[in-house]
Chain A
Amino acid sequence: MLKSEDIVRRFGAKTAVDHVTLSLEAGHVYAMLGPNGSGKTTWMKMAAALMKPTEGRMLFQGAPVSVESRRHVAYMSTEPYFYSWMTVRDAGRYYDDFFEDFSMSHYEELLRDMELEMSMKTRTLSSGMAAKLKIALTLARDAQVYMLDEPFNGIDLLARDQIRACILREATPEKLLLLSSHLVEEMEAIADRAVFIRQGKLIEVCDLEQLREQRQQSMADRYREIYGHAEVAQ
């Protein structure tokens, strides 16, 4: 569904994504892993058609990504993106205007699950609540691809359960979900495949149940093996 062919992105002398060929299929939840600066966000931004590759191609359903593919690809960046004057309702309306596939009723459901209210001012939200709002806005779209960059950042333990449940509800055979997070443990049970990236290069894509069955390893174990003990966040 989403495929990068020998894709490269350079920023000046630095190569953020280095000849990555990666094909992601519908019906799976992928965890994209790697230390800071390994190129996860850059790859996602190219997949969301928000950034152009220096070399190579990014394809959605076999065609190069574009303004058109953006209508089917929902991307949540790590940056905050609502104006301080907005209420939770305003943020929803803003999205509703912007994306054809945004569903106000689905948004309401997600807000209920995440314990947020329409009348809340975005300015007064705690960092955890603001993070949940971003997720609700993204998942309220009826897209084919959902890419969530660091959905568990700044979110307490209990709220992470809510987020995992909301993510799982979107995981249908027709959709592709891609999550990046340093909180590897949070994704062990909800993801079924992991994509490991290091210094802009693709290391491997693996099936998590196979990893457990054949190597008696968790995703976190494999992470430690690939990146070395010092780099694992708890």
Chain B
Amino acid sequence: MKFDPMVPIWLQVATALKQEIVTGYLPPGGKMPGGRDLALQYGINPNTAARIYQELEREGLCATRRGMGTYVTEDTERIQRLRTEMARAAMDRFLSDLRGLGLSGAEAVQLLETEVQNHAEE
């Protein structure tokens, strides 16, 4: 993974893990890599890796069972909510980009519909 060194590394890896949870690559109740393994896998400092799990736990996306490791939450509603949160954030970025180009909301919707159709035909 290539990092943006100006953005906290924990945030970048946490976002990547959230994506894996949302897509089911890391399934509900599934075991997550240990802190050290996560550090090695992503090539990051182990303290940063520990911070990532603290944040994900705080958000109720995973839980650490003593001596057993860290597991993805089994709460599928929470995962569904995460998907919505991430989609909303993506929409925000998209809309603010289009606003930057001077497009109105209606124009943005129209453009999006056309693009979705084009993608479907491909």
Contacts and interface: CB of A to CB of B under 8 A. Distances in A.
Interface of A: 27-29, 161, 164-165, 168-169, 171-173, 185, 188-192, 208-209, 212-213, 216-221
A217 B45 CA distance: 18
B43 A169 contact: no
Contacts of A172: 36, 46
Interface of B: 3, 5-10, 36, 39-40, 42-48, 51
A146 to B, nearest CB: 14
A171 B46 contact: yes
Nearest to A221: B6
A193 B122 CA distance: 49
B9 A216 contact: no
A189 B52 CA distance: 14
Given A188-B5, A216-B6, A220-B5, A209 B43 contact: no
A207 to B, nearest CB: 9
Contacts of B46: 168, 171-173
A41 B39 CA distance: 28
A195 to B, nearest CB: 15
Contact of B3 (A173, A188, A192): A188
Nearest to A184: B5
A219 B6 CA distance: 8
Contacts of B47: 27-28, 192
Given A168-B39, A216-B6, A216-B7, 19 more contacts: A29-B45, A164-B43, A165-B43, A168-B43, A169-B40, A172-B36, A172-B46, A185-B5, A188-B9, A189-B44, A189-B45, A190-B44, A191-B45, A208-B9, A209-B10, A209-B48, A218-B5, A218-B6, A219-B5
A37 B45 CA distance: 28
